[in-house]
Structure 1
Amino acid sequence: MSQRERRAAADGLAQDLGKSVMTAPLNHVRGVYVQQIDLVQGRMALIDTGRHAVLVEWRPVMERFAGREIEGVWRGQGISWSLTRGRGMGLGLAM
């Protein structure tokens, strides 16, 4: 996916949200799944961590958890997502 396109989308979202939006891959992300973002080269998901937001690759199963806190950990070829239930507990999602 085009880094330039993601950066432009992140800049626009940052103005709307009033906080920075990261686009670089992270080893770990935890926050509320806010919405999907359609870009020319694919769909992204906006995760709000509280201090900032992160654009990550979208998965269809995420829609079931809109508005809820999810956690993603980078594992090999992609991110493994789980629905969180407070500190330390999670429900696995097949993404």
Structure 2
Amino acid sequence: MVLARNLLGTLRQRDLDAAAHGIARETGLPYRPAADGERVSGVYRRSVLLVSGRFAMLDDGLSFTLVPWKPLVERRLGQHLTAVIRGNSTTWELGRRRGLAI
């Protein structure tokens, strides 16, 4: 038996896409996948349990993103969070950053 290259990654992405499609239909918001190294911000609306793992739904008001979930974010339901995804690791920033922005 020979498995295709990156089979687990492909199956994980299909699982995410199917869940995102369902959430988009339910909420009316478009799904915006996060790129590796990108900072994603939004209000933590809910967690989504998939075959490939648990994900947090971040709603930025215009779209939503699914980010790998960690237990520390569960207490932050309804709050603004920021996540940075780097490969298989996710770094969470709780609350809004203060300072000047352009």
Gaps of 5+ in 1: 89-95
Q: Structure 1 residue 24: deviation in Å?
A: 4.0
Aligned to 1:21: 31
CA distance in 1, matches of 2:76, 2:56: 12
User: Greater Rg, structure 1 or structure 2?
Assistant: 2
CA distance in 1, matches of 2:45, 2:55: 11
Q: 1:64 to 1:13 in 2, by over 3 A?
A: same
Q: 1:12 to 1:75 in 2, by over 3 A?
A: closer
SS of equivalent residue, structure 1 residue 23: coil
Q: Structure 1 residue 23: deviation in Å?
A: 3.1
Q: How does 1:52-63 map to 2 (within 5 A)?
A: 52-63=63-74
CA distance in 2, matches of 1:76, 1:12: 25
User: Could you give the per-residue CA deviations for residues 51-70 of structure 1, whole angstroms, max 9, x where no partner exists?
Assistant: 10000101011101010000
Gaps of 5+ in 2: 1-8
Aligned length: 88
User: Could you give the per-residue CA deviations for residues 13-71 of structure 1, whole angstroms, max 9, x where no partner exists?
Assistant: 00111011123435110100111101112111100011100001010111010100001
Q: How does 1:9-48 map to 2 (within 5 A)?
A: 9-26=19-36, 27-48=38-59
CA distance in 2, matches of 1:76, 1:5: 17
Indicate the structure with greater strand content.
1
Q: Structure 1 residue 80: deviation in Å?
A: 1.4
Indicate the structure with greater helix content.
2
Q: TM-score, normalised by structure 2?
A: 0.75
Q: Structure 1 residue 79: deviation in Å?
A: 2.3
Q: TM-score, normalised by structure 1?
A: 0.80
Aligned-residue RMSD, C-alpha: 1.9
